[in-house]
Structure formats: C-alpha cells, structure tokens
Chain A
C-alpha cells in the first residue's frame, strides 16, 4: 500500500507524527509527504506525483483548504484522484464544524482533534481492511507443508529425513563445481538463504549417496566409484553450550582475579560483541578458556554423532561392522579419551552413553559458572585438536567398508559460531590428516580466517571457495543457473506427477512487446531530442538497447492515453524474466513459479495436465512475491531490519528517478560506493551492508578490470547490486543490461539511513540521477517540488 500525506505549514508537526506512527505500525510499503503552499499545486504535478499512490491523506488544518485553492480546486483534484482510483482521506486536526468547506467535512475521514490515538486507531483499521492482499501471507500459503503446490519444497528441511525423496529432488550443479566438493579438499560454500547449501552438503552423506545411485549398501556405492563418507552437522544456534558472552566474561574474571562490578561487566560484554579485544586481558583469558571448553565439547559431539551414524547404518545393513570390530574400535577410542575410570564401555551404545555423560559435565560446569553457587570443576575428559584425526584413523583402519575412504565433516550454518569457535574448525581445515572439512555459510559468515595457532587461512591454498549465488551479469553464470533451475523444476514436477516437466513450456512467454514498437521508438526519439541529443535512425538498435525498457516504464506511467497500452503495470512473465528476477537464488525462483502455479490453479487452469500459466498470472505472481520478499526484511533481519527496509525503499525511489528521467543510461540496480575506505569509520553503514549481503538483499560485485580506475591514483570503488526480486514492487528495471551504477559516497548513504536527514538526502540523491544537462536546465523533481526552505539545496 502506498500512502501520501499532504499538509500545509501549520500541519507539519501533525503530518510528521502521522507519518511516523503509520511507519511504526508497518502500514504501507511507501509513505511520503509533501507540504503544499498556495500556487504550487498543479494538476499535472499531482498526477505525476500520485501515479503510484493508493491513498492521499490530507492533514486538515486551518490553512489546508486555502492552500489547495478552495472547494472548486478540490473538486478538480478529486476528479483527477478518482480517475486514478486513488482515495482522498481527510484527517481532521480541527473540529469538522470549523472547516470552511462544503465538501471536505462531508468526506469520510478520521478525527484527530479530540483524541489522537483514537483517530490513529480508526485510520489503521480502515487501511488494513482496504489492503487487497497480504503478500507475506500468500507466500506462506504456497510454502505450506500441506500445500499441493509442487514448489512448496523450497528447503532441504522440507524433505524431513526422507533421503530417497531428497535424492530424487537433488539436482547436481555444474560438474566442475560439484566435482570440487566431492574431492578430498577443504571447501567453503557461501550462499544466501535458499541458494541450496544444505542440499549440496547433504548430497554427500551415505544415505543420500546410495539413494541417488539406487544401491543398497555403502560397499555397492564404492564399487560405483564413491570414495567419501560424509557426516553432517547443523551448527544451529543453541547447538553448542557457549553462545552468550556471559561465560567468557565470567571465566575471564575468574582467571585474572579482577574484581567484578556490573558496569565493568557490561562494558566487557559490549567489547566482546564488537570484537574489541585489544588490551583486555580479562577477555583474552576468557576466550582462551572458552575455546578449550568448546574444543572439548565439539570433539565429543562429533565423536558421538559419528558413532551414532555408524550404528544406524550398521543397524540398517548399509555398512558392515561386526561385533568384534565394534568392540575393538570402542576400546581404542576409550584409550584415546583416557577417562579416570572405564566402566563397562564395550560397544557403540556404551560409547554414546559415555560421551553424553562427559558432555553433561561440561554443561554443569558452565551452568555453575553462570549461576555461581558451587565452585565449577572441569572434570571431563580433555581432548586436543588432534583428537578427531586419531579417531578417524581408527575408524578407517578398522572398518572394512571405510578402508581408504575420505571422511568428510560437513558443517552447515558456520555463521552461527562465534569467532573463537570458528578457529577450531579453521584449524582442522588447515591441519587435519584423516578427515576433510567442508563448510557451508551465508555470505559474510566467516567471522575469522585465523586458526587457533594464529595462522590465517589462505583461500586457494588451505581451502577453496564456492559461491552459490549465480552471477547473472555473466552469460556463463546465467546459463549454468538456468540449467540448474530446469533440472530442479523437472525433478519437482516429476515427483508431483505433472504432465509437463519443462518449466519453460509451462510459463507462457509474452509473444509481443507490451507496447507497439513504433510507439516505443517514437518515445525514444522524444527522449533523445528533449535532452538535446541527436536521433539517427541508423542507430535505432543501439538506442533501443539502452532505452527501450526505460521507455516502456515511462509510457506505462504516462498520464495521457498511450496507443496500444492495455495496462499500466509492467509485465513479468516467462522463464527468462523469472530467471533474472530470482537473482541467481534458487529459492526465489521456486517462490515465483510456485506463486504462479497457485494463481493459475486458483483460476481453474489445469497446469497438471499441461495447460500453460498465462502472462497475467505470472505478472501477478511477480508482484506478490516481490512485495512479500520486501516485507520480510523488517521481519527477519536481526537488529537492522526496519532500517534496511526503509533504505531499500529509498534506493528504489532513487533508481526509479533515474529510470524515468535519465536520457541515456536510465537503468541501474547498482550502488557504487566511491569511497569504501571510509566504511571503516562508520560501523552502522558497514554493518548494514554486511547484513544485507548476508541475507542476499544486496550482492557485492567482485572487482573486475572494468571497475579498476583508469588513473592509478583514483581509489577503488565497491559495488553492491540490489536483489532483482524487489524490482517489480519498487518499479525499477530488473534487467542487467550492463552494470550501470549509481554513485554514492559513504556520507550520502549514512545521511540516507539517518531519519533526521533522510528526506533531504533522498531528494538530493534523486536529483543527482538526472543527466548533467537536465540538472543545468534546472529540472526539478516531478514528485516533490521544493518548498521555500528546500530551495536552498538547489543552488
């Protein structure tokens, strides 16, 4: 929902409060306001400004009516409003009977003059009732575990422990990458939510391997060339004992003997949170102690999981381990653990019990540390960084089915570990001999590349990196991604018994452009000539390449009748378009396809027997999924969600300004930060960008030669590409024609994030999107005319 608040100078504080309160209630995807003064409003400006608005809220104060020119002017405005299907809602900040108008008091509105909260309550109730559809709720319907939608399975977890089904649904990514992960070398797989990291790791576990090969035992799989055995660990929050910083600080105090007080405690906790460990011996001592505990805990849990997995496979006759071997293995492992007493630990079940007891000791120790009523005693078996090497050596030597097999430890959600915990796994990446580590993480999830020995891991030497989000700027990347999508969709449609399994044949492609070519070409000509640029018919192809999509957007928005225009909404349909909108993230594509399926079947189109999904349903789907993904930002993103949401909406407005008014290079999805070195001094912006990358809201473009400054003295820039899934709802181009960027400084972005400077900064940045010539002509923003105070910015 888009809401526009109009007010006069005597209603400014009310407008600001209404805007804030509506935003605080998360009402409306876009809310903005304008101060109107006598003589400044024209119908054309209103039409342009209100094109994409659902409601106009008028802050009715003494001067409001005078400013809009009285009842007669209002009648003209309202006629224009009605044609756009926009509603005008007066908010009475003065008693209705005192409003000097015949028309305004008669319009249904809301009274704020006596009771502001009641007025707000009634307005919110009204707006919520008017909301046509809740996009997030629709998305939850198609993702529902009870939904028959073939694309409901958008996560690995949806397969539960049905490994056969997971194996059926798994589509191998491109060969050279997948071969890399199957080799015995450490790999770090980075990807956003829904990029398929978990599926890739799980494809390496024996149950899935034998399902995919359609064999019965691991030995059978070995005869088919399998030489690895994967053990999967999901490093969820809460899966390890230490996550909170409290035990670290407590152990630090204990080790250093420093006197505790609450203020010092809080300060140390904050320093830990911000990773400011320098010259804090309490924290250094605490972290060292925490590391030792985490190492022991991790060793024991990995041991336990390994033995449990082996036992399960043994019980299912997938792996052959006879009783005698089991007992010998148990004995050798106990020797390595070297407990003070060895009571009847004979087999795998006993070993599992034993590790459970040891883990309980660690748990009790930490509990006593948090709530100090007993002196905590570290009384569990101590293990070192080589412990697992020794264990896996025993297993691969003693179990026939595992002879000469590479053991892979598959760590998922690596980003949930604290830095000191990550050094444990980093150490294994670098030094492990009898097993290989494979890690999956969100972007920016590697909080440290150091090992416990203080050595940095080297990418390309100690490990290899695989980035799962496909770069659609790159033709090869796009092709690989599309191949993967086709295969995944094929499998999912096969599982659901759909007649047609090629998604390209189900998503009906637009047969023609949404506007007649001659109309587009004429407008391109107008754009160039208006900008004082020549128009050469022989260069039409070149002009179309740069301007056609932007021209379509402009023609769709035009107030006047446009020949051949059937709708004001941009069409989004076809496999190619959905590919781009999904931005290289499989889950988003499955959401788009799933929503299109949902709509089609709701309209009685039998997709299952092969009917195509019409373009209008795909377009509807694109807008709904786009809105849902945007609205999920404030919901899901820890700490910065609301700020990020506003930031993206503002960027959308800025990019749209360029799309609608730049005469030569209108399309952009990219922020180019011209002074990234200044990020170090601004932790808020740095965190926002980092979180956005982690959650795939933005994608950082790797430096290419085209980004290197021509002059060596110019500093390097950084580029961040907005996830294309937001482009329908933000009404900007999704097409990566080439990576044209909008330039920003860190200072500009920081001002945009600051609620106090946001409005002014945004207007300035919108103005920057015009070409130099347009700015020189004194082109003002169509959406927001400056009031007297803001005019200073134009000079």
Chain B
C-alpha cells in the first residue's frame, strides 16, 4: 500500500541541502501578514544565492508596502534580493523571466534547489508558473512552502473580496473544450460567495459541483465555507457539495480525480474555477497533469479585496508535498 506524503509542519526553514545555500528563494509581498510567515521562521543559517521578491502593484496598499519593507530587511540576511514588479493582469513575460532566472542561478541544473513560498501568490499566476516549471522539468524539484493565516475575520461573514473585475479563461488552460458536450462548473469554494455566484451566473453551466475544503485548517473553522457560500449552495443544492482536502495537494489531486472521473460527469466539459486554498492550486495542477479531457480553467478576478477584514496574523507554515507520481486513484492505494 502506497503511503500518501503529508505536509510537513515547519518550525524553522532550513536549506534544502545541508551546508549549501538554496539557489533561489521566491516569495511574494502582500497586504496579508502571512507573507512574512516563512521569512520570520527562517533559521539563522538559512541562505539563498538569490531571492526573488515579487510585488504586485496594481492596487495601492500601505499594508503591503509595510510588509515588503520588513521582508526586505529580513531577506537581506538571506541573499541577494531581486525585486520583481508584476502587473497583475499581464504576468506571463515575468513568469517566463523568472524561469530563465531560475535556470541562470541554479548551481546544479539537474538538481536545482528552489524554494517557493506560495502563501500570497495570485492563484492563476501560480498555475501558469507551475506549467512553466513543468515544461522545464523542474516542477517536482521545487520545495513549496505555505503559511496559513492565524484567522480570518469571519464573525462578520463579510466576503474576502467584492465585485468582479473580470471573468476569463486562465491562459494556457483554455480551449480543451468539446462543443457537443454541455458544461459542468466545478467550483473550489473559499470565503467569497458572491464571486462564486458571479461565476455561476456568467458560465451558466448545465450542472455544478461545489467543492468545499474539509477538514478546515482548524476545527473551529468548520462550517465557515458553507456559511459564506449560502447563496450558491441554495441555487445549486446541497447534494452537489463534495469535500476535498484543504492542505495536502496530493490528496486533493486524488480526490479531484475520483470525483471528476465519475462516469456521470464524462458527458460534460469540466470548467474548473479555483476559489479555495493555495494548496488546492497545487493539488489542482497535479490533477491536471493527468491530462483529463475537456477541462478548462476559469478565473474570476475580484474587483477589490476586503483589506480591513481579510486575513489576520501568521499561522502555521508547511512544506507541501508535490509529486506527480503520487497522483494515483484511491483504488491504487
């Protein structure tokens, strides 16, 4: 029986190879406190030859600038910092540039030592980055780190974002679509119920599945996703809820495989929209690496984030398992 790799809780970040600095450490500045999570947990010995600090600048944010300032101060002790400014709407050339830089700074091209903190990456950018890394055959050599927030401000049950900036197919994940089939919208739900409803309204699918993260990061968070998505659950129906893991990409990919390879869904195009957790993005990518047919990814970019009541604090940090060979069906376990 194959063992499913588990996320590893991180108290301190050490280098991938003992005694040698990482080639590259990549992180992303954000208004969320947790963008500093892994950096604050680095061990005094942690070093990287180069640090890529990504900044999105489409929206002004004092909190983000404060966080970036602290990140820079801490990262100066890690290695040479290259600040990369990314236009949220036009990331592809930057992603390609990152890949080229990774290749340039890798001391051993076949065994690069790359650590990427995905805590506050933009989900659709992360998906394109994963594809780019995969095409270079270095995807599975990356160490992915993730820090949870300490909590979300959900006692107000205000959404984490408002409005829709635009709904679009994620570049390089569209076109695999069969006109003779109807569509099944698969929503990995988060805490943005209105965004999910807007996607449902726009995509007008024949059927819909609502994937809710379970178990939640913390026991006391159970039920929040359902509460924040009452509207869409009302429309689609409770019978369409399925549960997927919140934190382990390998389990997530297996669950996606199990759910979506069900015969009753084979008559549909699968339109998947990830509104859930970042580990679910990795899991989604692992699932997509099995080349399911007629699958398209759609994204609804929010108009603005609910910064005053977004995430709070810095929670646990994890190393996430990411291995395409681990994507097996439950029957094979």
Residues of A at under 8 Å CB distance from B? 21, 24-26, 117, 120-121, 124-125, 128, 136-137, 140-141, 143-146, 155, 157, 160-161, 193, 232-234, 236-244, 246, 260, 262, 265-266, 269, 297, 301-302, 304-305, 308-309, 312, 359, 362-363, 366-367, 370-373, 632, 634-639, 641-642
Contacts and interface: CB of A to CB of B under 8 A. Distances in A.
B205 A157 contact: yes
Contact of B197 (A26, A262, A266, A635): A635
B166 A639 contact: yes
B92 A237 contact: no
B231 A145 contact: no
Nearest to A269: B90
A262 B94 CA distance: 8
Interface in B22-59: none
A108 B173 CA distance: 54
29 contacts: A25-B309, A140-B232, A140-B235, A143-B234, A144-B234, A144-B236, A146-B238, A155-B204, A157-B204, A157-B205, A160-B182, A160-B207, A161-B267, A232-B179, A237-B167, A237-B298, A239-B179, A242-B175, A269-B89, A302-B179, A363-B176, A367-B172, A370-B171, A371-B95, A635-B198, A636-B197, A639-B164, A639-B166, A642-B303
Contact of A236 (B93, B135, B162, B183): B183
B61 interface: no
Contacts of B194: 635
A301 B230 contact: no
B168 A243 contact: yes
A269 B171 CA distance: 14
Nearest to B240: A145
B178 interface: yes
A121 B94 CA distance: 38
Contacts of B202: 237, 636
Contact of A634 (B163, B237, B239): B163
> Closest 5 A-B residue pairs measured CB to CB?
A241-B175, A238-B169, A140-B234, A238-B296, A308-B180
Nearest to A638: B166
Contact of B175 (A157, A238, A309): A238
A294 B300 CA distance: 24
A246 B171 contact: yes
A353 to B, nearest CB: 12
A634 B237 CA distance: 24
Contact of A638 (B128, B167, B298): B167
Interface residues of B, number: 70
Nearest to B296: A238
Interface stretch (B2-10, B110-118, B151-159, B215-223): B151-159
B271 interface: yes
Contacts of B167: 237, 638
B174 A639 contact: no
Interface string B223-251: 00000001110111111000000000000
Nearest to A21: B308
A304 B238 contact: no
B83 interface: no
A193 B201 CA distance: 9
A690 to B, nearest CB: 15
Interface of B: 87, 89-90, 92-97, 99, 128, 131-132, 135-136, 153, 155-158, 162-169, 171-180, 182-183, 194, 197-198, 201-207, 230-232, 234-239, 267, 269, 271, 296-298, 303-304, 306, 308-309
Nearest to B183: A236
Contact of A128 (B156, B174, B197, B206): B156
Contacts of B135: 367, 371, 373
A160 B184 CA distance: 10
Contacts of A304: 178-180
Nearest to B171: A244
A140 B230 CA distance: 9
Contacts of A309: 180
B163 A161 contact: no
Nearest to B239: A146
Q: Which of A21, A638, A639, A642 has the most CB of B within 10 A?
A: A638
Nearest to A243: B169
B203 A641 contact: no
Contacts of A155: 204
Contact of A124 (B87, B156, B177, B197): B156
A240 B162 contact: no
A641 B163 contact: yes
A237 B169 contact: yes
A208 to B, nearest CB: 14
Contacts of B182: 157, 160-161
A619 B191 CA distance: 33
B43 to A, nearest CB: 34
B325 to A, nearest CB: 22
A570 to B, nearest CB: 27
B3 to A, nearest CB: 33
A639 B308 contact: no
Contacts of B296: 238-239
A157 B271 contact: no
Contacts of B271: 236, 238
Nearest to B207: A160
A140 B306 contact: no
Given A121-B309, A146-B238, A370-B171, A637 B204 contact: no
Contacts of A635: 163-164, 194, 197-198
A638 B164 contact: yes
Contacts of A636: 164, 197-198, 201-202
Nearest to B195: A635
B93 A262 contact: yes
A564 B38 CA distance: 70
A198 B257 CA distance: 32
A638 B175 CA distance: 22
Given A144-B234, A372-B96, A637-B164, A121 B156 contact: yes
B175 A240 contact: yes
Contact of A145 (B128, B166, B179, B236): B236
Contacts of B232: 140
Contacts of A21: 308
Nearest to A311: B180
Contacts of A137: 230-231, 234
B183 A120 contact: no
B237 A642 contact: no
Contacts of A143: 234-235
A144 B237 contact: yes
A435 to B, nearest CB: 15
Given A237-B168, A638-B165, A305 B203 contact: no
Given A239-B175, A243-B174, A265-B93, 8 more contacts: A25-B158, A193-B201, A246-B92, A362-B175, A370-B128, A371-B99, A638-B166, A641-B164
B275 to A, nearest CB: 14
A297 B176 CA distance: 11
Contacts of A372: 96
B106 to A, nearest CB: 15
Contacts of B309: 25, 121
A157 B269 CA distance: 14
Given A244-B168, A266-B90, A237 B237 contact: no
A94 B168 CA distance: 48
A239 B198 CA distance: 19
